Amino acid sequence: MYRRLATAVTTPALVLAGVLGTATAADAAPADKPQVLASWTQTSASSHNAWAAARANQSAWSAYQFDWSTDYCSTSPDNPFGFPFSTACARHDFGYRNYKAAGTFSANKERIDSAFYEDLKRVCNGYSGATKTACNSTAWTYYQAVKVFG
């Protein structure tokens, strides 16, 4: 009797453990998630463009479980003096949030902040003369703010 009872209890428990183990493995992000994250948080224009394309098609990247949420430029204006900095702020948020979730934020903060500054300068490159100078000055201020307070 004891053997039958033990088998009756053990078998469903093993099946349940197998199902839960499989579900956990299926819910895990792909192994190359750190490499993809790194490729989207570099200072280059190609890195920015790859991130922007992925952001526009987030569902294609759902298995990676990235945090795409953003508050843009936080408490600073998203478009100071008319300069459209909101996309740069969104990519900066992406880097911060995903590296914090991965537990590797401090090792990557400086690069994420530098990528932010490069993104801002690319915005400013669309201007000329005094407007470009004003944009670059604003970009420098935003960069210093995240470098110190981010």
- Given the residues 85, 87, 89, 92, the one annotated as active site: 92
Angle (CA) 78-82-83 rounded to 5° is 65
Residues 6+ apart with CB under 8 A from 98: 37, 66, 67
48 is catalytic: no
Give dist(CA 105, CA 137) in Å, integer: 27
User: Catalytic residues, which ones?
Assistant: 92
